[in-house]
């Protein structure tokens, strides 16, 4: 394993004690840290792990890793980082794909141990940032409830998705996960612990949610829930083209007949391009079966290819878990994942999706990759820093690629170039990035991305992270001078 001066000497992991590894002012200053509830580690294995993520595309090795056991730990380390000009970034489950939670020569704030879930009221749970959405769901299902919006993959951390937005098949009804948060606890870049909501310190509340970690680290959130039935009815409907799929999706979002609406593209079985699938889920009350004919009667799918069946709610919600285990077993989990996530205005969706898909082959997505396409109502997407096109309906369009070493498959670098071209096409047509994927952004891209909200973010950065130490891996603001 490679080493560098900051990680060459193993450091102890006892509570609140850190032995300097190598020289440098930052190493010597570790002694100024107060006693921690968790631990700060600097051994080569820990820093190497924090220098990687699900994308496996970039590597930025930190000076150390805080395994936080409390918000106070994060506050203490951020005060130290701000004083010494050391960059820092929060890390939940490490599912970013382009180094967003990495920080070269800085401090990674690992929140994975902050996993508490407790009920605040009959419909609301307080969740620590390191909890996975699967943890939250299992806790709420004991009372027959679930978070209003769940991501497809439940292994993501609550703090991670709330820092970017968080979409799922219920976003047509409830917006992003950030739209369903009543209150958050955060630690600002200057180390202040604060509780905020739309009514209490609203500027900080709106700067943290979907703020890409630029102003504060989310440590706890109050999440709204809804009642859910023990089982659901799932419909997988087949379409020959993306435009045919989107046509029926628009109808479903307009009348809201299904609780969950998504869509995806699969390689056609005859090898001739793509087949499109609408996934819709009805959630009837217990012991009632929905009327299939009424739900599907005005849709234009290939009904002979339809797959319809009932399954337990938890099996539906955590439907990706078996596939994830398979990816780990086959090793595809550890291949590069140059993902692209776009939000398109309805008026441009058919054109942009058609253009991108016409030049896309199954090899370009990879054997475990997937293409997602589904609509949401703009009216329910209310988080200020979550940038979405300004039309009544917007589409999430995501190319979740796996770059394999197979002969003829595009390299990760080629996929990144293709991502940039697709992003520029979408932007020309009024689309924006959903900034969780892998797109190289230039100096002018972020002001253009945030648009009219850019001055608000700049002001919030100056107020809450004046040393500009937070989340440099995203690339929104320059890192502090070293």
Closest CA to 261 of 178, 149, 132, 138: 149
402 and 362 within one domain: yes
Query: How many domains, in total, are found in the chain?
Result: 3
Averaged pLDDT, 270-290: 88
Tens-digit pLDDT profile for residues 436-470? 999 999 889 999 999 999 999 999 999 999 999 99
The more confident residue out of 10 and 446 is 446
What is residue 11's predicted lDDT score, i.e. its pLDDT? 35
Q: Give the residue with greater pLDDT, 406 vs 251.
A: 251
Q: What is the mean pLDDT of the chain?
A: 93
| Distance, C-alpha 222 to centroid of its chain | 18
Single residue among 50, 81, 110 that ends a domain in this structure:
110
Q: Which residue has the tokens 């699969």?
A: 266
Claim to verify: residue 429 and residue 280 sit in the same structural domain: yes
pLDDT of 246: 99
Specify the pTM: 0.93
pLDDT interval class at 168 (50, 70, 90): very high
Residues 269, 417, single domain; the answer is: yes
- Statement to judge: residues 170 and 248 lie in one domain: no
The domain spanning residue 95 has which CATH number?
3.30.43.10
- CATH number of the domain at 407, please: 3.40.462.10
Whether 313 is covered by a domain: the verdict is yes
pLDDT at 407 over 70: yes
Residue 43, in any domain of the structure: yes
110 CB-contact burial (10 Å; exposed 0-12 / middle 13-18 / buried 19+): buried
| Confidence band for 23, pLDDT divided at 50, 70 and 90 | very low
- 465 within some domain: no
pLDDT tens for 120-158 read 999 999 999 999 999 999 999 999 999 999 999 999 999
Residue 146: per-residue pLDDT = 99
Task: Name the residue range of residue 163's domain.
Answer: 117-228
Indicate the residue among 54, 82, 110 that finishes a domain: 110
- Distances in Å between the Cα of 390 and the Cα atoms of 83, 378, 393, 467 are 41, 7, 8, 34
pLDDT at 33: 84
């Amino acid at each position: 394993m490679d080493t560098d001066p900051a990680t060459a000497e193993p450091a102890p992991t006892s509570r609140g004690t850190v032995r300097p590894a190598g020289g440098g002012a930052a190493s010597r200053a570790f002694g100024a840290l107060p006693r921690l509830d968790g631990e700060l580690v600097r051994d080569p294995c820990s820093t190497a792990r924090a220098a990687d993520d699900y994308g496996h595309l970039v590597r930025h090795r930190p000076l150390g890793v805080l395994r936080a056991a409390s918000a106070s730990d994060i506050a203490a380390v951020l005060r130290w980082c701000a004083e010494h000009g050391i960059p820092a970034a929060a890390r939940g489950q490490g599912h970013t794909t382009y180094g967003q939670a990495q920080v070269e020569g800085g401090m990674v704030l690992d929140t994975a141990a902050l996993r508490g879930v407790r009920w605040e009221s009959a419909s609301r749970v307080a969740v620590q940032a390191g909890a996975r959405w699967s943890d939250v769901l299992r806790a709420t299902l004991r009372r027959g409830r679930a978070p209003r919006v769940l991501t497809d993959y439940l292994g993501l951390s609550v703090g991670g998705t709330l820092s970017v937005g968080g979409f799922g098949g219920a976003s047509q009804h409830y917006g992003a996960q950030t739209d369903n948060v009543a209150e958050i606890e955060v630690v600002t870049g200057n180390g202040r612990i604060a509780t905020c909501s739309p009514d209490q310190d609203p500027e900080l509340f709106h700067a943290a949610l979907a703020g890409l970690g630029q102003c504060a680290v989310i440590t706890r959130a109050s999440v709204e829930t809804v009642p859910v039935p023990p089982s659901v009815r799932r419909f997988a409907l087949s379409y020959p083209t993306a435009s045919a799929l989107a046509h029926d999706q628009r109808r479903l979002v307009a009348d809201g007949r299904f609780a969950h609406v998504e869509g995806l593209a699969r390689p056609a079985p005859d090898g001739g391009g793509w087949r499109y699938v609408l996934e819709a889920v009805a959630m009837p009350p217990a012991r009632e079966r929905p009327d299939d004919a009424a739900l599907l009667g005005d849709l234009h799918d290939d009904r002979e290819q339809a797959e319809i069946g009932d399954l337990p709610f938890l099996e539906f919600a955590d439907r990706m878990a078996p596939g994830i285990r398979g990816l780990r077993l086959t090793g595809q989990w550890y291949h590069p994942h140059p993902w692209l996530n776009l939000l398109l205005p309805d008026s441009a969706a058919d054109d942009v999706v058609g253009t991108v898909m016409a030049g896309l082959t199954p090899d370009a997505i990879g054997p475990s990759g997937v293409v997602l396409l589904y609509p949401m109502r703009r009216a329910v997407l209310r988080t200020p820093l979550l940038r979405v096109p300004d039309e009544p309906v917007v589409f999430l369009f995501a190319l979740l690629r796996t770059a394999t070493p197979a002969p003829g498959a595009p390299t990760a670098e080629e996929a990144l170039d293709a991502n940039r071209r697709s992003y520029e096409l979408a932007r020309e047509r009024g689309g924006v990035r959903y900034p969780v994927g892998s797109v190289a952004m230039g100096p002018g891209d972020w002001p253009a991305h945030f648009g009219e909200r850019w001055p608000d973010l700049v002001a919030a950065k100056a107020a809450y992270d004046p040393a500009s130490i937070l989340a440099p891996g995203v690339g929104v603001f320059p890192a502090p001078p070293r």
